[in-house]
Amino acid sequence: MPAINLDTKDRDILNFLQNDCRITNAELAEKISLSPSSCLRRVQRLEASGIIKGCFMLLDQGKAGKPTNIFVEISLSSQNEESLDNFEKAVQGCPEIMECYLMSGDSDYLLRVVAADAQDYERIHRQHLSNFPNVSQIRSNFALRTVNRKTVITF
């Protein structure tokens, strides 16, 4: 997918919105020295282009009761298109799976799962992961602590 051509003002808009998506259009326009109408048109164009996918609130995992991150490598018994599609659909139904990546290398997928603790992860493993279609191997690694986590792409 080709990158979208962005000028300095577009980059400024994206940097400000990534750090505070609740900023008003008038405040954003003032910060980047544009008129409110020009700023709004640019934001709408960036949304229409697909570079802006939405506005989200970032929660503290620990305070939300899910402090544990588990990175799970999944290998499937078959990598045909139907098997991949069925697995990916099943992943969508597990609310504790925060991220899922199709991988190259030793495993087919890498998941980031959040859980309250090891017992909660056992429940997720039993109810979801081990029941996903075509799973041949599951390897789980518990993160001891988060060293760095970014949500902002810098322009």
Q: Average pLDDT by consecutive 10-residue portion of the chain (155 residues)?
A: 88 96 97 97 96 92 97 97 97 97 97 98 98 97 95 90
DSSP 73: E
Q: Say what the pLDDT of residue 1 is.
A: 67
Are 8-49 and 68-142 the same fold in CATH?
no
Q: Say what the pLDDT of residue 71 is.
A: 98
- Residue extents of the structural domains in the chain: 8-49, 68-142
Cα(92)–Cα(81) distance, rounded to whole angstroms? 17
Q: Are 58 and 21 in contact (CB under 8 A)?
A: no
Q: Say what the pLDDT of residue 4 is.
A: 85
Cα(121)–Cα(143) distance, rounded to whole angstroms? 13
User: Which pTM value belongs to this model?
Assistant: 0.86
CATH 1.10.645.10 fits 8-49, yes or no: no
Cα(66)–Cα(155) distance, rounded to whole angstroms? 31
